[in-house]
A and B are shown apart, each in its own frame.
Chain A
């Protein structure tokens, strides 16, 4: 039933979508991480003026499907073209690529900010206190003590989030982006061989995620030198 020749034929065609898949997840993970750090730190303050809007943003983006978010940002905002043009933002929302980036970034920022918020909370209180006793400024305490410890704590959970975003990029195919899944669907409509094409596409995602998992393991080992034997 499974024809190896056919696999060899479709594999290069699917790999053609790999750069777009990597660009989508690379850019949105980077931007999302920066946004998540900002959101997590802002929530450390007790100021309700900061905290409530962030809580609302996080619960909306965690509580709705990514598919719906992509649809709303692309087709939903597309209907407000005159308003967006007046704001000078239409160039951004015109392109499906940037709409996908925006949706993925906001989604991952919402999840990651929760991961980081918990990790920052878990840094033992005594450590920042000791740092300030040594005369370190708040910013230096954050950079040298709190964040390194928090990030290391957050790493396994954050690794999960990166993997989810890699898989989430497959939804970009619904807004006309022909990344790996988009190409797979195109190939299926030409060949009617869903089984082989999706197996090959799945293998590509598995490979990306395998590399990410290995890289994160290495990073974790590097960040926890005291555990080395």
Chain B
């Protein structure tokens, strides 16, 4: 083997290795987006064997806006972040929460979905009479948040609130309603739904997409959502698209596309189609 040939092979090898990273600073023409394909209605495999769901629709919309050709693939949840880092695909859209821990390894776009809290109560209860509201309140906006909570507090005084243990919702309920109501913890949301129907507890606090699914069942005909939805603060930063840290141009493009999709109501329309609830992030 001549030296020149070796150099050529080495050069070819180098381009091969660096290929996934070559487009770091400039916007790529083609990308692969990975999802889990097992978390309906966010992302799942439909009866035709094709990927479908809120995030699939949204991914296609964002790709059209950025004029990038996208291929959407399914990938095991555990392998999502490692595979992104070695360059098997370029974007994760798999109902992944933006957390400080994950941000140590990868980067996220701004959230494209934030599932607000929802309180489910009997229609005849004090809080049920206040009725549902489509308003969303950021916990960071302390004044507005406190005002909304103070409005609900008297109706929850001495009541029992059911919430799933180990969740941010539990932290939220304890922090904002723990002083007036009894908080009861459940392993699963199905269990507190049963107790709500049995009248053992007066309210459940869940996420709006979850409440929409619960109240679709006939045995909850006399129950309603009440009050505004809360987002942010101890509830976390919402769901965003994961990317490699060096792909800054792609992140900028996606952030701009998400801004547009929020502004023109695309996210609202898609989320009502898939969740029967509105998960549009609050700006």
Chain A residues with Cβ below 8 Å from B199 are: 81, 94
B residues within 8 A CB of A189? 165-166
In the complex, the answer to whether A176 meets B184 with C-beta atoms within 8 Å is yes
Contact of A79 with B by CB under 8 A: yes
- Also in contact, A75 and B185, with CB within 8 A (given A94-B199, A96-B200, A185-B165): no
A94:B185 contact, CB within 8 angstroms:
no
B203 to chain A, nearest CB (A): 14
A108 at interface, CB cutoff 8 A: no
**Cβ–Cβ < 8 Å partners of A186 in chain B:** 165-166, 185
Which residues of A are found within 8 Å of B162, using beta-carbon distances? Answer: 176
On whether the beta carbons of A78 and B195 are closer than 8 Å, the reply is: yes
Contacts of A182 in B (CB 8 A): 185
Contact call B198/A81, Cβ cutoff below 8 A: yes
* Interface membership of A178, Cβ < 8 A: yes
| Least distance between A20 CB and chain B CB atoms (Å) | 13
Q: Which residues 171-214 in B have Cβ within 8 Å of A in the complex?
A: 184-187, 191, 194-195, 197-200
Q: Is the CB of B185 within 8 A of A78?
A: no
A84 to B, closest residue via Cβ? B198
Q: Which of these, B184, B186, B187, B198, contacts A79 with CB under 8 Å? A: B198
- Whether A75 lies near B191 (C-beta < 8 A) is yes
Q: What does the 1/0 interface line of A181-198 toward B look like (CB < 8 Å)? A: 010011001000000000
Q: How far is the CA of A96 from the CA of B182 in the complex (A)?
A: 13
Interface size class of B (residues with CB under 8 A): 10 to 19
State in angstroms the CA–CA spacing of A78 and B194 once bound together.
8
Nearest chain A CB to B243 CB, angstrom units: 27
A174 in contact (CB, < 8 A): yes
Closest to B160 in A: A176
A95–B195 CA distance with the chains assembled, in angstroms: 10
User: Within 8 Å CB of B194, what residues of A?
Assistant: 75, 78-79
* 16 A-B residue pairs with CB within 8 Å: A75-B191, A75-B194, A78-B194, A78-B198, A94-B198, A94-B199, A95-B200, A96-B184, A96-B200, A174-B187, A178-B185, A182-B185, A185-B166, A186-B165, A186-B185, A189-B165
* Chain A residues packing against B (C-beta within 8 Å): 75, 78-79, 81, 94-96, 174, 176, 178, 182, 185-186, 189
Add 18 more A-B contacts to A78-B198, A78-B200, A174-B187 (CB < 8 A). Answer: A75-B194, A75-B195, A78-B195, A79-B198, A81-B199, A94-B199, A94-B200, A95-B200, A96-B184, A96-B200, A176-B184, A176-B185, A176-B186, A178-B185, A182-B185, A185-B165, A185-B166, A186-B166
